[in-house]
């Protein structure tokens, strides 16, 4: 019985971690060509689904082990205050439905998106060790590099094989301005990661710095 409990615990822990890592990898790249809004809504949907799986597995792990432990941080106070302000803003909005779901407004600015980001922060805080955080950042940088390469190819006229993507302004992040802002953030993270990386990680970091500069 103890062995079965231990096995379920390990399976749930892996599912929880890998679901969160999958969300980190997929969000910069994910889009669906057969929906009216190819990027934001679909990114929100896949992130919400994977985080729900991660949260459910984490709860099952806690039930199986009989222990429920939360990592506390001073940052939680700021996150909670911002979350409360966002809820109040949504409640008093002239367009509550749009503020909650994001549609037909920007999906990224919706309360649902903030819930997803808060859940990702909460799960990372309670699931990831220092090594896991490094792995998560590495996964994110690989995904970001692919997104940057796609954006560069789009600008050069090498388009993805979809009719709506046949434009230099299309990329998997959003607008060209959004890709530029995203690349500026990636540049800072890459430089920080490059300092403590090995030979191959530094080579990859150099390529990513070049892509960010482009």
pLDDT tens, residue by residue, 53-71: 999 999 888 888 777 777 7
CA dihedral over 19, 186, 43, 90, signed as positive or negative: positive
Report the range of poorest mean pLDDT among 36-50, 79-93, 95-109, 132-146.
Answer: 95-109
Give the pLDDT of residue 61: 85
**What is the model's pTM?**
0.87
Please give the average per-residue pLDDT across 80-97, as a whole number. 88
Q: What are phi and psi of 157, to 5 degrees?
A: 95, 5
Residue 169: count other Cβ atoms within 10 Å of its Cβ.
Answer: 13
The answer to whether 105 touches 38, Cβ cutoff 8 Å, is: no
pLDDT tier, 1 (very low <50, low <70, confident <90, very high otherwise)? low
Mean pLDDT of 80-99: 87
CA gap 47, 91 in Å, rounded: 24
Which two three-digit tokens encode residue 1?
């019985």
Per-residue pLDDT, averaged over 130-147, amounts to 93
What pLDDT does 109 receive? 79
Hey, what's the torsion of the CAs at 135, 11, 52, 142, to 10 degrees? 20
**What share of the chain has pLDDT > 90, as a percent?**
45
**DSSP strands (E only) in 82-194:** none
pLDDT confidence of residue 195: 79
| Nearest-angstrom CA–CA distance, 168 and 113 | 27
Collect all residues with Cβ–Cβ distance below 8 Å to 94 and sequence separation of at least 6: none
């Amino acid at each position: 019985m103890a062995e079965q409990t231990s096995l379920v615990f390990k399976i749930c822990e892996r599912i929880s971690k890998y679901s969160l890592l999958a969300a980190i990898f997929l969000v910069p790249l994910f889009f669906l060509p057969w929906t009216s809004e190819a990027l934001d809504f679909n990114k929100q949907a896949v992130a919400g689904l994977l985080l729900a799986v991660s949260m459910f597995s984490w709860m099952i792990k806690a039930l199986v082990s009989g222990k429920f432990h939360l990592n506390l941080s001073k940052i939680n106070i700021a996150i909670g205050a911002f979350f409360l302000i966002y809820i109040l803003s949504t409640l008093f909005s002239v367009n509550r439905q749009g503020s909650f779901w994001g549609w037909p407004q920007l999906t990224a600015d919706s309360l649902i998106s903030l819930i997803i980001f808060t859940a990702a922060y909460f799960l990372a805080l309670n699931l990831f060790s220092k090594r896991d955080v490094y792995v998560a950042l590495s996964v994110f940088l690989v995904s970001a590099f692919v997104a940057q390469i796609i954006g560069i190819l789009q600008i050069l006229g090498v388009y993805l094989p979809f009719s709506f993507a046949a434009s230099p302004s299309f990329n998997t992040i959003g607008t060209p301005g959004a890709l530029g802002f995203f690349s500026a953030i990636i540049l800072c993270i890459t430089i920080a990661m490059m300092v403590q990386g090995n030979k191959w990680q530094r080579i990859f970091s150099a390529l990513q710095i070049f892509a960010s500069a482009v």
